[in-house]
Structure 1
Amino acid sequence: MSSPSTPEQPWPVRTVARKIAEWIDRLGAVWVEGQLAQVTARAGTGTAFLVLRDPAADVSLQLTAPIGLVRDGGAAVAEGNRVIVHGKPSFFYGRGTLSLRVDEIRAVGIGELLARIERLRKLLAAEGLFDPALKRRPPFLPHCIGLITGRASAAEHDVVSNATARWPSVRFRIEHTATQGALAVPQLVDALGVLDRDPDVDVIVLARGGGSAEDLLPFSDETLCRAVAACRTPVVSAIGHEPDTPLVDHVADVRCSTPTEAGRRLVPDLAEETARIATLRDRARRALAGWVDREQRLLTALRARPVLADPLRMLDARGEDVTRLREAARASVLRGLDRRGSDLEHVRARLTTLGPAATLARGYAVVQRLPATGGDAIDPAAPLPVLRAVTEVGDGDRVRIRVADGAVTAVIGTGAPKKTRAKKASTP
């Protein structure tokens, strides 16, 4: 039977069971720590059957022990107690079950438990799970409160009754679990996950009444502490009495010394809030009235100012300024026109004095030589040269003589020498 099994040559069940039993039998004895979940010691039998459970995981192991060993253990070998057992793994050939055949059972003392809790506390503190910066403030008025507690427990009554007395419309979602013993930690972790996933739950409360250090051990379990630290919803711890401080108190966002205090801190007091609202409303009313009075006085003072009392006063003053400036502008323009008119008259008189007409009026004449056309007609458009010297005309030339009141035409006489004529012409 040492040959490997094949589909054509499979091993019988007895062979497989025997090989497993032989392999397990080669294992040595071990010390195991756990929590007793079940103890069965029937009278008249020589073997007692026990279930040893891991408090931090959903794992258990079957134990078998002599009936005398269990009876001699007394109260230490009872369900819910933590123990250390020494035994050797064995495989029961007939049923195919694995068990641990123990020959010694020791109860874990309270001193050792407290020492282990202290070591765990230091470990969690070093990891930062107790850091105050990680604590979250529960909402002022939660929409729904998740409560994890024992069924029909005094802690549930204290939390619900006190919260309802302070705020009658408060809502709860309650998850009942074991709060001590081997099943407490798994149930607490499961309930915590259920409430944390509920979007309506705004805060989660872990509540339990007082008890011995062994009874409160589940609330110092590492698995539960890490589950509380991983929650996205704020967690309130209300375990035991004031002296009781399990590790979950340090991990939770808020610690309450008792479930009664938790019920009071979860919701505000309706009477106090109503009185506070009334006080705030009265303060707001007085503040608003004072503000209105202050603004009214300010408006009255502004209205009493000259500008607002007679708004047209400034316009009238500016209108008078415009009228005055307009009259000044008109007077300035008229004076300018008068000066320009006087200057024009002076220039006109000067031009008249210096003009040819005035010269002609004093007895002078303008002599112009007429063209030799052979006729008496003169083209008025043709320019006539002005005679400036006697040498410019000869005998028989026609000239036009312009005097003050008109012009005459003359013919230069003949027979007289030019010089003589020139002398006669220069005689006035």
Structure 2
Amino acid sequence: MSISFDSHAPLSRAGDEPFDVVIVGGGSAGIAVAASLLRRQRTLNLAVIEPREVHDYQPAWTLVGGGVFDVHESRRPMRSVIPKDAVWIRAAATRIEPDNNHVLLDDGRTVRYRHLIVAPGLRLAWERIEGLATSLGKHGVTSNYRYALAPYTWQLVQSIKGGTALFTQPPMPIKCAGAPQKAMYLSCDHWRRNGRLDRVNVEFHSAAAVLFGVAAFVAPLMHYVKRYRVNLVFHSTLVAVDGPDKTAYFDVADENGKLTRVAKAFDMIHVVPPQVAPELIRESQLADAAGWCEVDHATLQHPRYTNVFALGDACSAPNAKTAAAARKQAVVVASNLLASRAGKPLPRRYDGYGACPLTVERGKAILAEFGYGGRLLPTFPLDPTKPRALAWFLKATVLPWFYWIGMLKAREWFTKTLD
């Protein structure tokens, strides 16, 4: 069992000595890299700063919204996933001072480190859509991006008999860029199977200019867009929701960039919130111009503070922000950080790998795996653009199991990286 520090405990196992490694964040990236480091060097004096008492497997929430996964199975106590040789500091980091090798906590304490790993994730900016916060979870307004709301998505999908269903996607970057579409496809498939699709007007409003950022997957996704008779509206950004009036407001850009405010009535709306770098990073010396933790895209080492590494959703590498990306990044960061500690060249290179199992219908998914520049990086010797039952089985059954007993326990199968 991991050691846990309460608010009155010292912040190092060795008196005034700093921790060898401090990890900010106990999400997928933070726990995976902690386990990876301790598997390689169990004697590390390593701490994880994380205030939450629970740990979520967020990729399952799309399945919850589609009625094929129990939301309670997506959450476990944080204590159960912190590596047993790590120190768990149950507090929130509020400030990083890389010039002093310090992290400040919300209870006034200071954590000292020799090496820092930045993995706090990103922040869901619900407040950037006017009226959304007071409408979520009622009036037909839902989102699979929140644990408590994914079951409500499924309730709405089951209850709707006709009318208009809106699905939205904000400007990039967002975590799991395919998730907005997955909610739509699973909903449409349910209505099709139950003979209701003809009575539901489905619209997908995306701030992007294209359906999916990797061109190879656009054609197979368009097949399902046509199958479900979805009206695609690009360059359309949700800016406000009036839940009681069941009206959504979008800013739609024309070819010259001129915005027009458009009102859309809905019976159901699935909202994906804007997503931003956490203030902890944005206001630190570690941030790049966009507010993310600046890293070398290959080594994941900070270019100015060489004892700092980052991975997961908060780092500046231009990869898809997915758990699959964090799984491979953890190996790169663990290997390179230990080499840095030993004064050796960094041995690992990250190729931008990310994966997005696109659940286009119940029982079939397109396993989109790609790296920097949209280069396809399939794990299996099969056409990656074809919907398959195997990809569904991986998404719905294998990957949740593997997440808890594999990725978070440093069982690093299929994590070959460049060196």
Using the size of structure 1 for normalisation, the TM-score is 0.19
Q: Which structure has greater helix proportion?
A: 1
Q: Which has the larger radius of gyration?
A: 1
Using the size of structure 2 for normalisation, the TM-score is 0.19
Which structure exhibits the higher relative contact order, with contacts defined as CA atoms closer than 8 Å and separated by 6 or more residues? 2
Q: Which structure has greater strand proportion?
A: 2
